[in-house]
């Protein structure tokens, strides 16, 4: 084409022989294109060699691949394969490198380069014996080659070491089992052997050796010994062996042996473990049978008397974690339906246990609450009314069967079971309470002579009065009974339960000041008694926890809130007891009430007047629920160390820490962070770390509120202190989630400020922000009508423009991103001009093409630039002058000439000739630099009276 260019141009305007010449040109071009498409293998090989030498490996591979397709000569083809093998070695694609080298060797068995390249590839693939054979042949062909001899020596040593390790591992495994099963072995030796076995099982090679040496059978034999130390060692070893390996976990016996293996087995079989394990994934084709076996085993454990309380807790926890869907978007909830059909009655049995009665299942303090949480999760996971009706029918059938056995202990079991449902799927429990005779039975049990009957009945009454309508019924029928129990009983356990029942009934109106259930001052007296019990270390912990339950209801009253935050010993006692998982919800309720962070419905004054006119009830706010009182309570809570207590609560087991509890904790954090001066205290007491899991898991409202707190902290804090280490990268996603258009303006604004601070901290954080797809949202908010949000978005973009991906977006054609940035420089707001001009200055310095593009996006560019350079604000002026310098330095001579021919020259001269001034020195120096650059370009002559720098 280069040879034909001149003749074609010279004949372009001639008329003689024009058609003939053009025809020949087209014919030649057609032939040339045909041969280009076919390709000359020799030429393509040479081109590939040039690309390889230049370091462009991808282009080299492309050329060699094309050459292979058209090459007919076997010897040349072998050379091309050998060359492409070298490329694949560079790309660390060792499988392809070995394959190409093999094809070259198939043509010429003595091709020493191909042999050595295959050796290198095989070594990287871990096939040391095959690599050794290749380099051994290379050394035979060239005995004096030092590279071959060194590789031969090294591979030989590695093979010997591997063999030694393999053989020694086998012998060590057998030796460990011998020691463990030897009755005469010393205790220290057995402990050491058990620990070695556990460590070995956590390494892939060690786990494989244990498995291959009949390890599973031997480990199951260890469990069957019944000795705690042997069982613990076996379970931990099995856990190490099973993690991520489908081929080793297809035996249902493992799940029957130890329930805490379920998680790693479940993750391996269901894909929860996302790591790559090569071909092992193909060894188990259908894991559903094994999963059902494991699930049935766990359900058997739930109701088995042979299982300890801690074992039962673990089984319930595993069911709660793995059975319900993680996301409602998932369609498959077959595990939930399977669990309800095969295990719902077993879970209900756990809920109904009364430890004070004989012949009960072994339980811990947490067992029944964990069972209630599981019931709630199963019920929430159901999709339709028929499924929910089936759940209710099974519960109803179970309660009916137990209740109608005419056995007092069975009746108590039924009532306690309903209590468990009321703490879980309340609607189901509430429906059962409404069955004929149930409420009457609960009231009758309160008058029983047996203390255990009274205790169970009072607890049931407490849980049944969660709805105001139900509370009204109990107020009418049961308040006097609860009062009598409270006054007459000498048993502290029953007394405090009766008190909690009264507390709950007294708070049935919520925070509505006009709906007080009891006389003025009654709730304060109840709360005082609860605080007294709470602070008394002589009373058992379980009874003191009931005092917290009572305060959870009473703190709906603003008088009670104020009294509670004034009582520092009571607060400290509550924080100390909050380490117990069973009262997390109650503590969270108290803190939400004290900080008034519950959901409030905005009531329009017009609607209030209308309601009064129509004689409808109008909620009234307590005088002590006004803003200044709430702020005082927040300050007292912070002083008492509430943040540290919250951080401990967040670390609780996920089964107990329900999504509702997480949301309440997030609400409390948001209330605590309202005053910017308090955010440092929150960070110092571990609040930054605690907020991250709350922002990533739980209800949507809870995640948004926790993310909002993170944004507030990130906006004004040093990221290294607030979110130390790798944790700082985890806060990006919550902040980006706050940028969605369905969030309110304050959340958008705080998130943008937080991202601005993080983006100014490091390049890694900027890249992380880009990867989380925040750019489109930030760019959208730069168009926002709200001045504060627009400023925050522009400041954020100013800190992001140093990132290469952001610059590429501005270089793209067909968008108004650069135009917007230029126009924002012309706004009247100084802060907005500083941010926009700063972004423009940095991006034009990094990408010279944008200097020219800037002049094309809007006709106002020169006027805006002149205004920047004349600005009274030194920061704005300095940024404008830097943009001018970038344009002069953009290698576009026409643009530089246009700038100097405009009024900008006069502006630069005036600013550059100014006397040195510390307040405006940056702008003065920038103007002088621009003038020097213009002189270097030959656009102006040197000044005669230019002040020295």
pLDDT of 875 over the 60 cut = yes
Output the CA–CA distances (angstroms, integers) from residue 224 to 221, 231, 255, 296, 409, in the order listed. 5, 8, 14, 21, 35
Is 290 in contact with 249 (CB distance < 8 Å)? Answer: yes
Closest CA to 944 of 922, 914, 913: 913
Closest CA to 726 of 695, 764, 693: 764
pLDDT of 505 over the 90 cut = no
The DSSP annotation for 87-117 comes to HHHHTT-HHHHHHHHHHHHHH-TT-HHHHHH
How many Cα neighbours within 13 Å face the side chain of 643?
25
Question: Of 125-129, 201-205, 719-723, 790-794, which range is least confident?
Answer: 201-205
Is 366 in contact with 313 (CB distance < 8 Å)? Answer: yes
pLDDT of 514 over the 60 cut = no
For the whole prediction, is pTM greater than 0.85? no
State how far the Cα of 888 lies from the Cα of 852, in Å rounded to an integer: 10
pLDDT per residue as tens digits for the range 890-899 = 989 999 999 9
Closest CA to 666 of 711, 627, 703: 703
pLDDT of 599 over the 70 cut = yes
pLDDT of 21 over the 60 cut = no
pLDDT attached to residue 226: 65
- Which has more confidence, 225 or 142? 142
Query: How buried is residue 635: exposed, middle or buried, by Cβ count under 10 Å (0-12/13-18/19+)?
Result: middle
State how far the Cα of 205 lies from the Cα of 333, in Å rounded to an integer: 37
State how far the Cα of 86 lies from the Cα of 115, in Å rounded to an integer: 11
The alpha carbon dihedral of 61, 64, 70, 72 has a sign of negative
pLDDT attached to residue 583: 85
* Dihedral in degrees, nearest 10, Cα atoms 452, 455, 457, 463: -140
Q: Considering just the CA atoms, what is the radius of gyration of the chain in Å?
A: 39
State how far the Cα of 335 lies from the Cα of 805, in Å rounded to an integer: 44
pLDDT attached to residue 178: 76
The alpha carbon dihedral of 60, 63, 67, 69 has a sign of positive
Written as six digits, the tokens of 749 are 């604004």
Domain ranges of the chain: 39-143, 435-504
- Which has more confidence, 813 or 230? 813
Find the mean pLDDT for residues 660-682: 92
Torsional class of 92: left (φ above 0), alpha (ψ -120 to 50), beta (otherwise): left
Helix (H, G, I), strand (E, B) or coil at 941: coil
pLDDT per residue as tens digits for the range 190-208 = 777 777 777 777 766 677 7
Q: How many H-runs (helices) and E-runs (strands) does the chain carry?
A: 55, 0
Written as six digits, the tokens of 202 are 């956590």
State how far the Cα of 897 lies from the Cα of 888, in Å rounded to an integer: 8
State how far the Cα of 210 lies from the Cα of 655, in Å rounded to an integer: 34
pLDDT attached to residue 171: 65
pLDDT attached to residue 461: 76
Q: Confidence band (pLDDT; 50, 70, 90) for 494?
A: confident
pLDDT attached to residue 777: 93
State how far the Cα of 574 lies from the Cα of 561, in Å rounded to an integer: 14
State how far the Cα of 750 lies from the Cα of 704, in Å rounded to an integer: 12
pLDDT of 788 over the 90 cut = yes
Is 754 in contact with 714 (CB distance < 8 Å)? Answer: yes
Find the mean pLDDT for residues 480-494: 75
pLDDT per residue as tens digits for the range 327-366 = 877 888 888 999 999 999 999 999 999 888 888 998 888 8
Average pLDDT score, the chain: 81
State how far the Cα of 314 lies from the Cα of 409, in Å rounded to an integer: 27
pLDDT attached to residue 734: 93
End-to-end CA distance of the chain: 55
State how far the Cα of 708 lies from the Cα of 749, in Å rounded to an integer: 10
Output the CA–CA distances (angstroms, integers) from residue 273 to 202, 242, 295, in the order listed. 15, 11, 18
Please name the residue that has the structure tokens 């069967």. 401
pLDDT per residue as tens digits for the range 837-857 = 999 999 999 999 999 999 999
Q: Confidence band (pLDDT; 50, 70, 90) for 287?
A: low
Question: Of 247-261, 762-776, 928-942, which range is least confident?
Answer: 247-261
CATH fold for the domain made of 39-143: 1.25.40
- Which has more confidence, 793 or 430? 793
Please name the residue that has the structure tokens 């996920």. 654
pLDDT attached to residue 736: 94
pLDDT attached to residue 357: 87
The DSSP annotation for 425-456 comes to SHHHHHHHHTSTTHHHHHHHHHT-SSHHHHHH
pLDDT per residue as tens digits for the range 199-249 = 777 766 677 777 766 777 777 777 667 677 777 777 777 767 665 443 333
Q: What is the DSSP letter of 318?
A: H
Question: What CATH class is the domain 435-504?
Answer: mainly alpha
pLDDT of 511 over the 50 cut = no
Q: What is the DSSP letter of 902?
A: S
pLDDT attached to residue 754: 94
* Dihedral in degrees, nearest 10, Cα atoms 550, 551, 557, 559: 130
CB atoms within 10 A of CB 334: 11
- Which has more confidence, 475 or 370? 370
State how far the Cα of 240 lies from the Cα of 204, in Å rounded to an integer: 9
Query: Which segment, 245-254, 654-663, 681-690, is predicted with the most confidence on average?
Result: 681-690
Output the CA–CA distances (angstroms, integers) from residue 731 to 710, 713, 715, 792, in the order listed. 7, 11, 12, 18
Is 545 in contact with 583 (CB distance < 8 Å)? Answer: yes
Question: Of 371-385, 394-408, 465-479, which range is least confident?
Answer: 465-479
pLDDT per residue as tens digits for the range 741-781 = 889 899 999 999 999 999 998 899 999 999 999 999 999 99
Written as six digits, the tokens of 662 are 């997480």
């Amino acid at each position: 084409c280069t040879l034909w260019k001149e003749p074609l141009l010279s004949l372009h305007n001639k008329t003689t022989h024009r058609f003939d010449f053009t025809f020949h040109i087209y014919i030649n071009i057609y032939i040339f294109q045909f041969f280009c498409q076919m390709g000359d293998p020799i030429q393509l090989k040479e081109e590939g060699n040039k690309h390889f030498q230049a370091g462009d490996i991808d282009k080299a591979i492309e050329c060699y691949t094309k050459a292979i397709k058209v090459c007919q000569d076997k010897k040349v083809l072998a050379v091309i394969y050998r060359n492409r093998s070298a490329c694949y070695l560079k790309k660390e694609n060792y499988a392809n490198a070995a394959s190409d080298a093999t094809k070259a060797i198939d043509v010429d068995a003595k091709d020493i380069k191909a042999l050595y390249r295959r050796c290198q590839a095989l070594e990287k693939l871990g096939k040391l014996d095959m690599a050794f054979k290749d380099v051994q042949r290379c050394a035979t062909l060239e005995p004096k080659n030092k590279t071959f001899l060194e590789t031969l020596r090294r591979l030989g040593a590695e093979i010997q070491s591997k063999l030694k390790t393999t053989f020694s591992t086998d012998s060590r495994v057998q030796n460990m089992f011998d020691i463990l099963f030897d009755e005469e072995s010393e205790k220290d030796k057995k402990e050491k052997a058990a620990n070695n076995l556990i460590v070995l099982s956590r390494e892939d090679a060690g786990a494989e050796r244990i498995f291959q040496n009949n390890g599973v059978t031997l480990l199951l034999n260890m469990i069957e010994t019944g000795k705690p130390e042997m069982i613990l060692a076996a379970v931990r070893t099995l856990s190490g062996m099973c993690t991520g390996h489908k081929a080793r976990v297809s035996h249902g016996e493992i799940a029957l042996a130890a329930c805490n293996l379920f998680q790693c087995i479940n993750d391996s079989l269901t894909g929860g473990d996302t790591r790559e394990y090569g071909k092992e994934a193909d060894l188990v084709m259908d894991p559903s049978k094994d999963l059902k076996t494991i699930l049935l085993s766990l359900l058997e454990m739930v109701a088995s008397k042979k299982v300890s309380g801690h074992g039962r807790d673990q089984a319930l926890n595993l069911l709660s974690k793995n059975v319900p869907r993680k996301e409602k978007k998932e369609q498959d909830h077959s595990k939930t339906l399977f669990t309800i059909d095969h295990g719902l009655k077993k879970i209900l049995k756990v809920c109904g246990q009364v430890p004070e009665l004989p012949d009960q299942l072994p339980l811990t303090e947490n067992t029944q609450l964990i069972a209630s949480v599981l019931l709630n999760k199963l019920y929430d996971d159901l999709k339709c009314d028929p499924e929910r009706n089936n759940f209710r029918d099974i519960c109803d059938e179970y309660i009916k069967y137990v209740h109608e056995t005419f056995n007092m202990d069975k009746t108590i079991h039924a009532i306690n079971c309903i209590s468990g449902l009321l703490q879980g799927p309340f609607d189901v429990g509430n429906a059962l309470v409404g069955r004929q005779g149930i409420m009457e039975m609960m009231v009758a049990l309160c008058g029983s002579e047996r203390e255990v009957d009274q205790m169970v009945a009072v607890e049931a009454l407490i849980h049944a009065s969660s709805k105001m309508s139900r509370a009204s019924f109990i107020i009418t029928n049961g308040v006097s009974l609860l009062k009598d129990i409270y006054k007459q009983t000498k048993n502290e356990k029953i007394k405090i339960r009766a008190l909690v029942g009264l507390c709950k009934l007294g708070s049935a109106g919520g925070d509505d000041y006009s709906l007080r259930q009891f006389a003025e001052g009654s709730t304060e007296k109840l709360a005082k008694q609860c605080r007294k019990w709470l602070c008394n270390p002589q009373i058992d912990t379980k009874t003191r926890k009931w005092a917290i339950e009572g305060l959870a209801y009473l703190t709906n009253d603003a008088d009670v809130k104020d009294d509670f935050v004034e009582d520092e010993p009571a607060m400290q006692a509550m924080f100390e007891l909050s380490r117990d998982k069973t009262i997390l919800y109650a503590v969270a309720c108290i803190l939400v009430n004290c900080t008034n962070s519950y959901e409030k419905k905005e009531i329009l004054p017009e609607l209030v007047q209308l309601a009064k006119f129509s004689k409808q009830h109008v909620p009234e706010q307590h005088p002590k629920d006004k803003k200044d009182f709430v702020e005082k309570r927040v300050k007292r809570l912070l002083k008492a160390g509430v943040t540290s207590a919250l951080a401990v609560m967040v670390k609780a087991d996920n089964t107990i820490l329900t999504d509702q509890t997480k949301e309440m904790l997030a609400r409390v954090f948001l209330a605590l962070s309202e005053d910017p001066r308090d955010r440092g205290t929150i960070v110092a007491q571990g609040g930054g770390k605690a907020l991250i899991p709350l922002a990533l898991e739980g209800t949507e409202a809870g995640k948004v509120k926790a993310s909002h707190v993170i944004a507030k902290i990130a906006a004004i804090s040093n990221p290294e202190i607030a979110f130390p280490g790798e944790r700082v990268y985890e806060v990006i996603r919550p902040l980006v989630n706050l940028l969605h258009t369905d969030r309110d303006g304050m959340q958008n604004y705080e998130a943008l400020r937080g991202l601005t601070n993080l983006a100014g901290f490091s390049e890694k954080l900027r890249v992380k922000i880009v990867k989380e797809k925040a750019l489109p949202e930030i760019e959208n908010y730069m168009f926002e009508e709200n001045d504060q949000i627009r400023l925050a978005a522009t400041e954020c973009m100013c800190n992001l423009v140093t990132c290469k991906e952001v610059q590429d977006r501005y270089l793209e054609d067909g968008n108004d991103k650069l135009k917007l940035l230029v126009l924002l420089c012309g706004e009247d707001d100084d802060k907005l001009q500083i941010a926009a001009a700063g972004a423009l200055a940095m991006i034009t310095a990094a990408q010279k093409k944008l200097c020219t593009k800037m002049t094309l996006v809007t006709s106002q560019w020169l006027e805006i630039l002149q205004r920047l350079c004349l600005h009274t604000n030194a920061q704005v002026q300095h940024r404008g002058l830097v943009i001018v310098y970038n344009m002069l330095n953009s290698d576009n001579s026409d643009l530089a000439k246009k700038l100097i021919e405009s009024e900008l020259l006069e502006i630069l001269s005036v600013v550059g000739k100014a006397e040195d001034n510390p307040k405006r020195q940056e702008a003065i120096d920038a103007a002088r630099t621009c003038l020097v650059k213009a002189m270097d370009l030959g656009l102006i002559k040197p000044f005669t009276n230019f002040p020295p720098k």
